[in-house]
Amino acid sequence: MTDQNTSRVAVITGASRGLGETLARFLAGQGYHLILNARGGAALDNVIRSLDGYDVEVKAVAGDVAEPSTRRAIAQLARTLGGVDLLINNASILGASPLVPLANHPLDSLEKLFRVNVIAPLALIQELLPSLKAHSGLVVNISSDAAQGGYETWGGYGSTKAALDLISKTLASELEPDGVSVVSVDPGEMRTALYQEADPSADISGLPTPDITLPFWAWLFGQEHAAINGGRYQAQAEQWEAVNETR
């Protein structure tokens, strides 16, 4: 087993399927010890079993990351592994499904959207911040083109991602003196369960799987954190540029 004291540790929320599962497999291949979180314990266990062949520690925290107890459990596991080098806030919910116009969006559903998609990522950053500072860590907040598009019926979900983008850019400025870098990433349209939930009758078979983003992740994690800090990246763009937007 790789020495935990010399290896990197990554926390991934929403890791039981889709992009989160893809990232877990990619980072395990890069030698990261993993703390994986998702609401579905059985699906999360399946992902962990699929990573048995990697020479890394893989720990699970099943539960809603919007709950303080779940975030505390993640932080406790992080301490046992020596801290956190990388936090990927990937967990999201869509809200009303099928999607509805923002003018008709149930307000209780909208409140839950913001609690899961905005408050929970920020709260987890706060929970892990001492460790992220100690490790000069990187935070990746998963965004969406809906944050900027103004697409019909996507207003609830999109507004949460727009808020998360602003949180990411603000934290990048605030935490730069502490050595913590923060970026947001729009992974692009992919064939995922979340995208299907937006319109259950839509045929999404022509969309790429999350594996299409792997070249981007290899590039991003190979950059100096200070160079990418504050950036908003599109994973399916033809090319990427590392520019510190907090300067």
SS3 content of the chain, % helix, strand, coil (to 5): 50, 15, 40
Q: Domain for residue 110, yes or no?
A: yes
Spot the catalytic one: 16, 92, 131, 143: 143
Looking at the domain assignment, is residue 242 inside a domain? no
Burial (Cβ within 10 Å: 0-12, 13-18, ≥19) of residue 195: middle
Query: Over the range 173-191, which residues count as b (16 or more CB within 10 Å of their CB) and which as e?
Result: eebbeeebbbbbbbbbebe
Q: Respond yes or no: is residue 161 known to be catalytic.
A: yes
| pTM of the predicted structure, to 2 decimals | 0.94
Considering the candidates 92, 131, 159, 161, report the single residue annotated as catalytic. 161
Characterize the bridge pairing of strands 181-186 and 138-142. parallel
Number of domains comprising the chain: 1
Residue 98 DSSP code: S
199 φ/ψ sector (left φ>0, alpha ψ -120 to 50, else beta): beta
In whole angstroms, give the CA distance from residue 34 to residue 23. Answer: 10
Annotated catalytic, 144? yes
Q: How confident is the model at residue 110 (pLDDT cuts 50, 70, 90)?
A: very high
Instruction: Examine residue 29 and state whether it is found in any structural domain, yes or no.
Output: yes
pLDDT above 90 (res 1)? no
Q: What is the pLDDT of residues 161-191, one digit of tens each?
A: 999 999 999 999 999 999 999 999 999 887 8
Is 201 known to be catalytic? no
**Closest by Cα among 61, 20, 73, 72 to 37:** 61
Instruction: Share the mean pLDDT of the chain.
Output: 92
Is residue 171 included in any domain, yes or no? yes
Give me the CATH number covering residue 100. Answer: 3.40.50.720
Range of the domain at 108: 4-234
* pLDDT at position 58 over 70: yes
Does residue 241 belong to any structural domain of this protein? Answer: no
Q: Catalytic annotation on 112?
A: no
Domain membership of residue 176 (yes or no) is yes
Min mean pLDDT across 25-34, 91-100, 152-161, 165-174 is at 91-100
**Active-site residue (options: 16, 157, 159, 181):** 157
Whether 15 maps to a domain, the answer reads yes
Q: Considering the candidates 131, 144, 168, 181, report the single residue annotated as catalytic.
A: 144
